[in-house]
Amino acid sequence: MNERIRQGRVNRNTKETDIEICWVLDGDGNSDVNSGIGFFDHMITALAKHGQFDITLACQGDLDVDGHHTVEDVGICLGQAFAQGIGSGQGISRFGSAFVPMEEALVHAAVDISGRPYLQADMNFPQTQVGQFDSYLTLDFFRALTVNAGITLHLRQICGDNSHHIIEAAFRAVAQALRQASTENKTIKGALSTKGSLDLGRNES
């Protein structure tokens, strides 16, 4: 019997964005990303590389308005694709965390693949824009990702005064934490929960 390929595919088409995404959890860190926002593409590429995920993403958004719809909707779709790939969550490690430095910046991420979506973020962006990317959209992205993936994510900026470094350290830290949490562990029988089930589809555990 072939093992299930842990991946998710999502298409989303609205008046604001047209998105196609594929996220392979057990990948090699490959990516093909085009959102129309260069720095955001760089961040999703970092998410793939540092999590060893394979991510393909094509988005056409209303960038003539601003980047908000594009970034948030990509977060929604990536979250949904991640949830598809995780499935019932049987046998996964469930928890993951990582400290990631980038020059003067240091960010910590902790993840629980629980079915209970929640983002707790303590971050500050000294520069309001990195390239064509508005720094505040970082948290909009992670909020959309967590809600739609059904995960709890804690993000904490320990230090940093360069928004590029801070944001990139956050994406790398989340990638590392997601990799740990989503890894299948043969020593774990069933779901890592006292309830016996993560109930990911019902957002409770």
Q: pLDDT tens digit string along 173-186?
A: 999 999 999 998 76
What confidence score (pLDDT) does residue 90 get? 79
Task: Give me the residue label for tokens 């989340």.
Answer: 174
Identify the residue with better confidence: 5 or 135. 135
Mean pLDDT over the full length of the chain: 92
Q: What is the pLDDT of residues 108-124, one digit of tens each?
A: 999 999 999 999 999 99
* Burial classification of residue 75, based on how many CB atoms lie within 10 Å of its CB (0-12 exposed, 13-18 middle, 19 or more buried): buried
Residue extents of the structural domains in the chain = 7-202
CA distance 201 to 88: 8
- The pLDDT of 169-196, averaged and rounded, is 79
On the question of pLDDT at 192 being above 60, the answer is no
Angle at the Cα of 125 from the Cα atoms of 122 and 127, rounded to 5 degrees: 175
- Rounded Cα distance between 49 and 61, Å, is 24
Query: How wide is the angle at C-alpha 191 spanned by C-alphas 51 and 141, nearest 5°?
Result: 35
CA atoms of 63 and 65, how far apart (whole Å): 5
12-20: average pLDDT = 97
In this prediction, residue 40 carries a pLDDT of: 98
Distances (CA, A) of 142 to 116, 165, 196: 14, 17, 28
Domain 7-202 part of CATH 3.30.930.10: no
Task: Identify the residue with better confidence: 188 or 146.
Answer: 146
**Helical residues (DSSP H) of the chain, grouped into ranges:** 38-51, 68-86, 137-149, 163-182
Question: Rounded mean pLDDT of 130-150?
Answer: 97
State the Cα torsion 107-113-115-118 to the nearest 10°. -10
Task: Tell me 186's DSSP state.
Answer: T
Q: Does the pLDDT at position 146 exceed 50?
A: yes
Give pLDDT, residue 89: 83
Handedness of CA 56, 61, 67, 68 (dihedral sign): negative
List, for residues 64-105, the tens digit of each pLDDT value.
999 999 999 999 999 999 999 999 887 899 999 999 999 999
Does the pLDDT at position 137 exceed 70?
yes
To the question of pTM greater than 0.85 for the whole model, the response is: yes
- Residues whose CB is less than 8 angstroms from the CB of residue 3 and which lie 6 or more positions away in sequence, other chains included: none
In angstroms, the CA 66 to CA 61 distance is: 9
Rounded Cα gap, residues 132 and 120, in angstroms: 26
- The Cα–Cα gap between 167 and 130 comes to 9
Count CA atoms closer than 13 A to 172's CA, side-chain side: 15
